[in-house]
A and B are shown apart, each in its own frame.
Chain A
């Protein structure tokens, strides 16, 4: 799962390294670091946001390890996707393997299919699916849609996109 972790570093050299050190041990993957060099907290510490791909059961241990080395962990939360769209697919959605399509997007790590509604009115009739895709940012969303577009073309699915998306 992807989590964001807000931490505070002391304003002395070597702190960042200290913060990242425990990660390999827990097989946590660092996705992004947001380092607010200019900012200071009231405690005169430097706020940093880490986005990590982690096993949920290791979060507690990572947090403990950081605090052991004097790093304050302010907040740990599941990473929120910032972009979200609905897309409709029409065609032989199920027979052409909707799961593959979802996997292709989930595999990216930056976008995820978070909802799927499916309607199959009967054999030989076109089925319809509505999927919601969440992604971290606009570009990620566009990349996910490009994947979907390729898959749809291959599987002869009609893709209905929102009007404000560059189709």
Chain B
């Protein structure tokens, strides 16, 4: 049995999802020879630390009743530097301007020779090359399947499952909020404004939706794909971006009458990275509805391979984190 000691940095929706999945999968992990020992859980207010493993069920209930897991006034970076462990699961909020706490956490993790699994796009869109170099220099593993498409495998699919295939392009819907809004606008013949309000009410859109509806989130995911799959070295500024705020119900209806839906499509190839609303034929593989995500990978040998799945949700995102975890440690 191999014991992997890890920390969970950020204990919001995804961090808690990871804790739940680790509880659920304890036996399974044992069956593949792994014991995952969470030695620290950190949120913005403090940390719970135990070198023998914190009680995850207890952390979850404390977070839900008290609003924090913190029993000690320790920051994430302090935990990384002072608590002995080999894996950092980084799930703090995305910040695409400075990289936020996530960037500091990842750099500190690599500095101290730890592996990192993250769902946090911010640091990867800003400092991909630096992070990869830092990981390489310390011999750390660095995986981030959860940053693109939530539960849906894209990065590992292209790089590992399809290994050997040259990837020509990837096109898809990488933001569930936009897909929900466009789907509902067509269904209800309702305005962008009305459906946005509905999406906020349901918790599908943030109170400040700009990051999603202006196409920024999609662009960030394309940047990660461009760097991780196409071997480019690009940042957000290299993406041409148009969002969905101008789409009208009339436009959706006219398109529909001629056999098309309008989707916010992200597209990446070696030549171009591009986000814009596009006309997609009804029943085309990219015509998925609601909050679903989808990606079509155009490969040299295998043609087009399309995956679709839930782009967000705590358990769904934790599923991608779990797959990264198994990929790193199961065969070591």
A interface residues, Cβ below 8 angstroms from B? 86-88, 90-91, 117, 119, 121, 125-128, 130, 158, 160-163, 167
Contact = CB atoms under 8 A, between A and B. Distances in A.
Contacts of A160: 247, 251, 255, 262, 276-279
Contacts of A128: 248, 250-251, 254
Identify the interface centre among B255, B265, B267, B281: most chain A CB within 10 Å of its CB: B255
30 contacts: A86-B260, A86-B279, A87-B279, A88-B251, A88-B254, A88-B255, A90-B248, A91-B246, A119-B251, A121-B250, A125-B248, A127-B250, A128-B251, A130-B251, A130-B254, A130-B255, A158-B242, A158-B247, A160-B251, A160-B255, A160-B276, A160-B279, A161-B278, A162-B280, A163-B265, A163-B280, A163-B281, A163-B286, A167-B267, A167-B276
Interface of B: 171, 242, 246-248, 250-251, 254-255, 258, 260, 262-263, 265, 267, 274, 276-281, 284, 286
A-B CB proximity, top 3 nearest: A119-B250, A128-B251, A128-B250
A130 to B, nearest CB: 4
Interface secondary structure of A, over-half rule:
strand
A162 B242 contact: no
Contacts, number: 67
Contacts of A91: 246
Given A86-B260, A90-B251, A126 B246 contact: yes
Contacts of A158: 242, 246-247, 277
Given A126-B248, A167-B276, 12 more contacts: A88-B262, A119-B248, A119-B254, A126-B246, A128-B254, A130-B255, A158-B247, A158-B277, A161-B279, A162-B280, A163-B278, A167-B267
Contacts of A167: 267, 274, 276, 278
Nearest to A126: B248
A158 B247 CA distance: 8
Nearest to B263: A163
